[in-house]
Amino acid sequence: MNLRQQLGSGLSMAMVLASAFAFWKLFSIVTMSNSPIVVVLSGSMEPAFQRGDVLFLWNREEYVGVGDVVVYKLQEKDIPIVHRVVREHRLLLTKGDNNERDDLPLYAYGQQYLERDKDILGRVFGYVPLVGYVTILITENVYFKYALMALLGLSALVQDE
């Protein structure tokens, strides 16, 4: 492969990455959510949502009520949590459908409720079942990650010839 073809391939890859980033940012602006798409990582919301489901969030409504499924992120935790609102009185209390107790032990020390503007990333408005399982496999299984990288490298080598 000559230099011109390599530069063309690199430019094509850069365009794909830039397009994906632009789509993500546009979707973030439209939904008013920093994280408009999330993957369910646990079984706490079964049977409503299964592990590996991809959720789409909407954060343009001022009111979030009892029964709405929301995604929230706590300051000291990196992973967003998907749970249903079980109590609302200006502030929100959440609980996983498959959990016995509410989320009070998950909140920060002294925090009793979630604030709509501060903690909530958005309300779930749609989902695609099990598509996010690839993300779970990549993050939880080191061997799968290495096998996927080897497969990508192998396909690049085969494509060059």
Provide the annotated active-site residues.
44, 83, 103
Angle separating helix axes 133-140 and 142-160, nearest 10 degrees: 110
Six-digit token pair at 138?
């990549």
Closest residue by Cα to residue 66 from 48, 91, 46? 91
Q: Which position has the token pair 């080598």? A: 157
Six-digit token pair at 147?
């096998």
Q: Are 49 and 40 in contact (CB under 8 A)?
A: yes
Give start and end residues of each alpha helix (H) in the chain. Answer: 3-31, 116-119, 133-140, 142-160
